[in-house]
Amino acid sequence: MKKTIFTSVLVAVSVFLGSLNASAQTTEKDVTIIELTQTSREFSTKNLNLKPGKYQFKVTNANVAKDLGFVIQKAADAKGDVMKTAVPNSFTTNLVKKGETQYTGIVELKAGEYVYSCPLNPTPHYKLTVK
């Protein structure tokens, strides 16, 4: 009985801590991982065409001297305050340091037009279409 309670508490704590750290890769079912690499001032993938669903974005800093980030916004909101208009869970919660990789949280994208960019460095807003 004590072992079962301890195991249940340990699992609950692990799930809670995992939900706080969006940089850790998730194993949730039906989530597609999209890999993106940022080089100096740009992402190597310029446009994304996806189907509605759950995604997690794996963002790699390809030896850019500055720390990076990642965020998705609805296209109509792209001129507003990035963090106020970000799609929920669509940002890296930790800085992506030179040569490192970070993950976003799980993002549920519905049909529509979005943009993705690095909010820390001067990258363009890249088109992300969901249909």
Residue 11 has pLDDT above 60, yes or no: no
Phi and psi (nearest 5°) for 97? -80, 165
> Which residue ranges make up each domain of the chain?
2-130
What's the rounded mean pLDDT across residues 18-22?
A: 36
The residues that bridge with 53 in the sheet, in sequence order, are 109
What is the model's pLDDT at position 54? Answer: 97
Mean pLDDT of 1-24: 35
Task: Give the model's confidence band at 28: pLDDT under 50 very low, under 70 low, under 90 confident, else very high.
Answer: low
Q: What is the pLDDT of residue 16?
A: 32
Residue 94: phi and psi, rounded to 5, are: -115, 150
3-state secondary structure 33-44: EEEEEEECCEEC
Q: Which of 58, 64, 62, 66 is nearest to 116 (CA)?
A: 58
Radius of gyration over every alpha carbon of the chain, rounded to an integer in angstroms: 16
Enter the tokens of residue 15: 């799930």
What integer is the mean pLDDT of 28-48? 92
> pTM score, two decimals?
0.75
Instruction: Give CATH for domain 2-130.
Output: 2.60.40.420
Residue 46 confidence class, pLDDT cut points 50, 70, 90: very high
92 pLDDT higher than 60: yes
The Cα–Cα gap between 69 and 59 comes to 8
